[in-house]
Amino acid sequence: MFSISIEQLCKTYTPKGKSNKSTKALDNINLQIRPGEFFGLLGQNGAGKTSLISILSGLSFPTSGNVKIYGHDVIRDYRKARNLVGTVPQELVYDPFFTVRETLFIQSGYFGIKSNDLWIEELLENLSLSDKADHDMRSLSGGMKRRVLIAQALVHRPPLIILDEPTAGVDIELRHTLWKFISRLNKEGHTILLTTHYIEEAEDMCNRIAVLKSGNLIALDETKNIMSRFGGKDLEEAFVKIIACNELSSFNKEI
């Protein structure tokens, strides 16, 4: 069983009450991610990454195709599918009137978890939030708020963790803290799906890489193979070469 199984996925946005043409954000995507993988999803702005993550997280519905999380269809079996996913969004979304600890207890309640004290304390410690646990969310810096978002995504111990630009605009300390903890969770068996514009992060962390361009999956292979195939000294150089090529289908390789 795959942690993520995507078959012939299409997503089209059609403006209401306007004459504008529909926009196809995802075009016939086929992708499988194995349990325990650290998987990178790369692409320029507008490539379709957010649309794909929104469908996996239950925030958006596919226009057509099938998407399953550990065998559970995200539409027909959405309750089980969503319980298996923890998503760290790009945006800093929070309730300003709760403390950090209260926020995590409330998040636990959303998943029906009544006794979660030990894991919450472990999250606070591993994300260097212990000294901020009783502070209101509105009093935290941007970097601290992002740490809380990460803790919220992990509070129900999901087997699939989706990180959508988790280190965008944050300091080096948070990056080091985050990757140390996420690497530990990955070694314990959690599947990680990462989107990032910091290509060096994907090169260091991800076993396999998929590249989206204009809603199409144009490259899929092990990270080392992608760098080798495109003759780049690093993943960033290979990524630039992939994006620059117009022959989309020639790079798509299932392994």
Whole-number pLDDT of residue 247: 45
User: Could you tell me the maximum CA-CA distance found in the chain, to the nearest angstrom?
Assistant: 55
Supply 106's token pair: 């409330």
What phi, psi does 182 have (nearest 5°)? -65, -35
pLDDT for residue 68 is more than 90:
yes
Domains of the chain, by residue range, sit at 1-84+160-166+190-255
HSE at residue 49, side-chain half, CA atoms within 13 A, is 24
pLDDT for residue 7 is more than 50:
yes
| Alpha carbon distance 134, 88 (integer Å) | 22
Q: Which residue has the higher pLDDT, 244 or 133?
A: 133
* Chain length of the chain: 255
Whole-number pLDDT of residue 249: 46
- 114: which DSSP letter? S
As beta bridge partners, residue 64 has 10
Q: What is the pTM of this model?
A: 0.91
* Assigned architecture for domain 1-84+160-166+190-255: 3-Layer(aba) Sandwich (3.40)
- 33: helix, coil or strand? strand
